[in-house]
Structure 1
């Protein structure tokens, strides 16, 4: 959709990111997040749209986002799905302090923001925090022990046989996932395992990211009726592709690092921004479970100076990791006592979505 059409049907735009958290510096970018309701053809026809995240140099009606690359305006159905899934980056959109654009329809959505709060936040906020830890650990490894050369197939024992390309690996791993899932589905005693496999987790992505352990190679070969040499080549190729992906990520990280941030990383031995966001996410998740509200502005939460101290390198890597460990332990305890529902009421949320579309009109 063109920018003008999106903006004409936008119900809210909020100032998010570092400005929303109260952690902005004079040179901080402006991050805008918003919601629009698509016209009739996107609901009743074949056209599909989920968000507008580019094209802000087109003709528009909100000059404050002219040329701003850090602007995303989500279509209502997309953001309702993300909100229902307790997505941390989206939940905070309904709890911001600053809305440059807010219509009566947008106000109605914000009025019902607590519909989206559930105990699922424990899993999503801790999951996003662990993603920050993963990045922090990866960057720390690169800082302390940087890769020396681009990996080649022979480094992984692949000599005469051709290395399996990424598409071949992914196709086989997806087949393996579906095969395992299909077998478990018909085993009564494996009900819990089946629930786990069909949960809202990207197990295919996990299979593709992590290599098959040695202990499972023989079982995998029997399960899939594959030749043993193929399964061995699969593991070698996985190891090679993982190393190659890390090498490319390392080069991209080196090339695109902010010089000031890189210097702080060098001094502290870890990525301070990822460390700060990890702690912010865990504290926010804990607050939601305890208080039933999202506190985006960390000045209101009372820990803005502490988070800034992490960004300045005043805490060591070990201290930040200990903070994270303690917060995860607290979240486990609070989770059981929280009065939030286990999951959001999807029927009520569906009704809200229809009300909002009707209020906006087809246009």
Structure 2
């Protein structure tokens, strides 16, 4: 059985309903949408039956509601999105049931926030670095071919197999290979026209399904035939190129085109919106270490919006993020927060809220 957000509202199942996202942070612009986030409770028959629903959200995930059991479990892990609900600015609260007053922050906030806030922010920094690499190091649209990673040994050097074949007026399809003993990915290369017994057919260097096959083809070589050259196939390099090619193509298909175009326009080579939220999370982590609670409505709005606008150099932002992470480590080292949330108390809230709600 599925539930919609309209079902939650129609049957008065919502315990907490808030405006979230950029408007809650004070980072909204005239183009910003209104996101909502909240908590609901299941009807008793669904909770006790086979159709437990732990979350209801819109198709674009701009409206998300957690069932109270899931919400409390996430609080027990110091989940950032759920902690933000706990400290939602009063003017962002659409509705709050008195039962939510049972949930007390002092039993929840802990050193786990160091990982849940700052750790997530660090992951976003890594994503930003990955995006920077993709933008400034695009992968060719040409599918990598195994022969691109083959070299022929010539005296004291190697030359690309393509070049060697071209210089000798040869084609890959007429080549035959046999493995060289004791040489990893090394082969003796023969050519069909060299056979004195008449025209023979070799299997070529690679199968015709290039891009799927990741190894060379071996051929049966007539007795007494001498190799033309020694060939080395760098199989690891070919696998890496093929992996990079497919990862880049998948990234092209799945990336947020609007945000990607914004990245290109500001020229910084990073997802500016992503990095804005990275610094928001870093600052919230530091606030939790120092005061035990995050500031949802951001006092650093202007700076964060400047990051979103791409007004800082990528290298400067990475250096600043490293500095703020170091400050967070120092803050939690001195913090008087409990080491972990009081899971037993949080579980008791779940029981108390359900007992008070269900007849």
Normalising by the residue count of structure 1, what TM-score does the alignment of the two structures yield? 0.68
1:17 aligns with 2:18: no
Cα pair 1:153 1:159 within 8 Å, conserved: no
Deviations along 1:104-161, one digit per CA (max 9) or x if unpaired, are 223433xx13322110111111221122112211221222122212655747899669
What is the match of residue 83 of structure 1? 75
Aligned to 2:85: 93
Aligned to 2:35: 31
Q: 1:134 aligns with which of 126, 129, 136?
A: 126
Equivalenced residue count is 277
- Give 1:246's aligned residue: 248
| CA offsets 1:274-332 (integer angstroms, 9 cap, x no match) | 2211111111001101100121110xxx2111112212222211221111111111111
- The farther-off stretch of 268-277 and 149-158 is 149-158
C-alpha distance 160-358 of structure 1, shift in aligned 2 (>3 A): farther
| Unaligned stretches of 5+ residues in structure 1 | 56-67, 166-231
Out of 84, 106, 127, which is 2:100 matched to? 106
Is the contact made by 2:74 and 2:82 (CA closer than 8 Å) also made in structure 1?
yes
Indicate the RMSD between aligned Cα atoms, in angstroms: 3.1
- Equivalent-residue separation in structure 2 for 1:29 and 1:280 (angstroms): 19
Distance 1:99 1:73 in 2: 14
Mapping 1:229-240, distance limit 5 Å: 240=242
Say if 2:72 and 2:350, in contact at 8 Å, map to a contact too.
yes
What is the CA deviation profile of residues 238-267 of structure 1, one whole-angstrom value per residue up to 9, with x for unaligned ones? 8745642332112332x72247623444x2
CA distance in 2, matches of 1:75, 1:51: 6
From the two aligned structures, give the one with the greater helix fraction. 1
Contact kept? 1:36, 1:74, Cα under 8 Å:
yes
> Which residue does the alignment assign to 2:294?
294
Tell me the secondary structure at the aligned position of residue 53 of structure 2.
Answer: coil
Q: Deviations over 1:55-90 (max 9, x none)?
A: 7xxxxxxxxxxxx85101111111112111111122
Residues 142, 250 of structure 1: 8 Å contact kept: no
2:308 alignment partner, one of 300, 308, 311? 311
Q: Which has the higher contact order (CA 8 A, sep 6+)?
A: 1
Judged with a 3 Å threshold, the aligned counterparts in structure 2 of structure 1 residues 5 and 270 are, in CA distance, closer, same or farther, namely closer
The residue aligned with 2:224 is none
Using the alignment, how far apart are the partners of 2:145 and 2:117 within structure 1?
A: 38
Give the Cα separation in 2 of the matches to 1:130 and 1:257. Answer: 24
Provide closer, same or farther for how the CA distance between residues 148 and 292 of structure 1 changes in structure 2, counting only shifts above 3 A.
Answer: same
Alpha-carbon distance between aligned partners in 1 of 2:53 and 2:149, rounded to the nearest angstrom: 43
Larger mean Cα displacement after TM superposition, 256-265 or 324-333? 256-265
User: Residues 151 and 247 of structure 1 are in contact (CA less than 8 Å); yes or no, is this contact kept in structure 2?
Assistant: no
3-state SS of the aligned residue for 1:309? helix
* Structure having the higher Rg: 2
What is aligned with 1:257?
258
Q: Where in structure 2 are the equivalents of 1:207-246 lying within 5 Å?
A: 240-241=242-243, 243-246=245-248
1:330 maps onto 2:324 in alignment: no
In 2: Cα distance, 1:156 partner to 1:36 partner: 57
Q: Judge conservation of contact 2:139–2:245 (CA < 8 Å) in 1.
A: no
Distance 1:234 1:143, change over 3 A: closer
Q: What SS does structure 1 have at the residue aligned with 2:37?
A: strand
Of Structure 1 and Structure 2, which has the larger fraction of its residues in strand? 2
